[in-house]
Structure 1
Amino acid sequence: MKKEETVDYHIKVVWHAISRMYNQGGLEKGITASSGFVLLNIDIEEGTPATKIAPLLGMEARSLTRMLKNMEQTGLIYREKDPNDKRSVRIMLTEEGKKKRSFSKKAVLYFNDSVRKKVSDEKLSAFFDVMSSIEEVIEENRNIEQQIILIENE
């Protein structure tokens, strides 16, 4: 099978193109695609528990920890103890973080509007269905190493 015939090749190529586009657009604003997505997943008023952000983004907690530390150092976020649970920490947006979040939201909406102008609702619906199915396959095959061993032993 050629790489162009694999599902993951197309997902990877398109995701990298989207990420590059957002990174270039955010360069002047001092944010990356990743930090923009983090900002979009933080509640403007209430903040968001630190433990909830990684799952929202499909990230590993370790990667997010580094990113949050960097975002805190650049003045986009700050940490605050949860008033309802003193053991929990909420990630809050600074005023600068709110501005960058607003920019990120506009960029995402603009891109999505551009896609919707080119792609019919029917095709987008099919795309979302396919992506959901791919996500199910990923969940079913979490331990791919064991799956490969089983296939090799057949």
Structure 2
Amino acid sequence: MSKIDILPFETTIMVRDTCLCLHAQRAARALARRFDDVLRPLGLTNGQFSLLMSLNRPQPANMSQVASVLAMDRTTLTACLKPLERRGLVNVSADPDDKRTRRLTLTPEGRKLLVKALPVWKRTHAELDRLVSDPEHLRADLRALS
């Protein structure tokens, strides 16, 4: 192995300390664990909460709209919807104008669960906002990166 093939350990430290992707992934995992923990008594994960919340709208959403909001592909969205549909929280139906398009709506049970989950989400967010110096700036920066 030549010297060109060897990266010094200092490079590893530099990447560890400066890599935005690494820090975003670590923060996302920590946030996901925190929200999973507080939503668990309601039988929800953080991803399920976000999915249900994305369906809280005046008109039924289609798959593409929800996938876009959640930054996931339609195949992943379909897999995430299945347990919520089995629990009777979400209804997936054909669009009356285009049978190829699926419309997603919250059921009354899904709405009731969101009402229960929202105070938990708000309380947890208030705790998190106290941990960062400027939460609104952080949100703006994260939106810029996404």
- The TM-score by the shorter chain falls in which range? 0.7 to 0.9
Change (3 A) 1:133 1:28: closer
RMSD: 2.2
Correspondence 1:57-96 to 2 at 5 A: 57-83=70-96, 85-87=97-99, 88-96=101-109
CA shift for structure 1 position 35? 0.8
1:130 aligns with 2:130: no
Residues 35 and 124, structure 2, Cα contact 8 Å, conserved in 1: no
Distance 1:92 1:129, change over 3 A: closer
Q: How do 1:83-122 residues align onto structure 2 when only pairs under 5 Å count?
A: 83=96, 85-87=97-99, 88-119=101-132
TM (normalized to structure 2)?
Answer: 0.75
Structure 1 distance, partners of 2:123, 2:145, is 26
* CA distance in structure 2 between the aligned counterparts of 1:38 and 1:12, rounded to whole angstroms: 20
Q: Which runs of 5+ in 2 are unaligned?
A: 1-13
Q: Give the distance between the partners of 1:50 and 1:132, measured in 2 at CA.
A: 22
Determine the structure 2 residue equivalent to 1:40. Answer: 53
Instruction: Compare CA radii of gyration and give the structure with the larger one.
Output: 2
Comparing 104-113 with 22-31, greater Cα deviation is found at 104-113
In structure 2, distance between residues paired with 1:58 and 1:32: 17
TM-score (norm 1): 0.72
**Pairing 1:3-14 to 2, within 5 Å after superposition:** 3-14=16-27
- 1:11 and 1:59 mapped to 2: Cα distance? 17
Length, aligned pairs only: 132
- Partner deviation per Cα, 1:19-73 (whole Å, 9 max, x = no partner): 1111112222111111111000003543322221111001121111111122111
Distance 1:29 1:5, change over 3 A: same
Letter in 1 for 2:92: R
Equivalent residue, structure 2, for 1:145: none
How far apart are the structure 2 equivalents of 1:103 and 1:14? 26
AA aligned opposite 2:116:
F
